[in-house]
Chain A
């Protein structure tokens, strides 16, 4: 049986959705995009041009929900399917868009560079339980105007997995799409086999900026999946109660569904988010807070009820080091997310409120993800009944180490962690150097990066995305891109 976490009763889900619909139809949503306001007005929304507010009637929302797909797939750079975003399937992807990295050598949090990103991309390619890469942090050695497309460029060059990403401006979308078309060979091939998911974030409360709303429209037009990242902050930019926060998240996310489906009925999207409790002592948005994680899992239940695949920023930590807090918050979140059946879980590697990526943490988190994926597979009888024969064998042979039953089920039944998790006894651990978790994680990072094989992206595609990136850089006054290998 696949274990599933339930936080909301059916009645409560219905009430939350109904209150959210009431807010959308009575108060509306603010959209800084005249063309979208025109589109909404043409489809029956009550649009106030002075306040940029569109009130969305219930039937408009119903129509959008009818055409929103219940599932879609992602494909790697070769077009091989890697993700089945449906049902309660779970996939992990690193937390994205950090502005810093935790440098293992110095122990300091610092700005990342191209060489860091290349190491990251090579590493993610080797982590078995991380299904997608994300554009995990923002290299600081290129101008900000190209930092979004540059991340995708490096990801496509150095890792074969699909990419969770996003554009920082309206203009960047085009080059980011063109790179994907270069990988797939044609716009139609890209539409048939999506390579990326773009994060599109409404602004709390109930607002879409020109950039994020236009990104939504552009993705929908070209069949590029999006994830709606509504970010209500409980007690600050959202009601303090978790249910109140869920009402706001539902309203903001439903408005995204309407914008996508009006633009292009059937366009793929994840019912996602990054809500957070607001810590009124520190004025921060703790992603490791249990309330944050509860809201994540609860809105995923709502998303599934509305018929969409889901996503959440969960399984990350607010710690500043790879310490016990980093492990416990990540482990707790990843475990809950897996039990909730959140289809795309964005979190691994992340520290400091989505601000700092750590390669060492990513390697640790890969183990956490492995355990959570095992948990999600649940517990079921295999060759267990009738039980007597195996016990007869145990009594006869005195052990079952080499029993056929053991050989058949050992690796499917038990997930074996990598070298980051200590399972040696005390004496062995001491004899092998009494290493700390950080030391073991760093060794594993070095081993995996050093052993990474170059991406098998075809040479033609590689040359084309290099040409596109160079042209984009020149457009922003950068004659030469930074060197890529350390």
Chain B
């Protein structure tokens, strides 16, 4: 196996050739934050939280979708990166309707955790209070658009792992929203297998089981990586 070596925050690390910059920063225990990224799904570089500085590159690079290269010198927590990350999380809070106190995902929410990670004690950007709907047409699950951060994990897990492609994105800009089927009520989409993978990988309380109420959601975000490894390498995590 060929290996590339690079330097992350002053520490030399070696990762397999083809590994992402994110994997390299994890080898260095640099704790680069991510929201849209999920192990086992194709990276999309949408949340911009994993942007890092690579010496010699004029631009900030998304660690999730940049390949680690020999000799890279990477900085993951410079003052400006920390400031941009906090601004990013503030922007996410401000653009949706995120009320942790009454959310099904309270205490198990990656967005809530991310606010802590980036040191967000309040939002400097005014909350937008967009008018968004709730799709409760599915017998087992509910989609609350108010809490959606458009990470597209549900879109990708349904397409890439379950193979049903129930979800996609409709409209654009601030009007973007997740659509089921051909923009139908979720419960009417026959392609949906009710597998619940989308609910399990949702980082917030946007997708949840109907039986869960405030602070009762317990997601399981390890499934996609587990299934992918099992399929591609014919290996289960306990083998």
Q: Do A and B come from one complex?
A: no
Binding site for B on A (CB under 8 A): none
Binding site for A on B (CB under 8 A): none
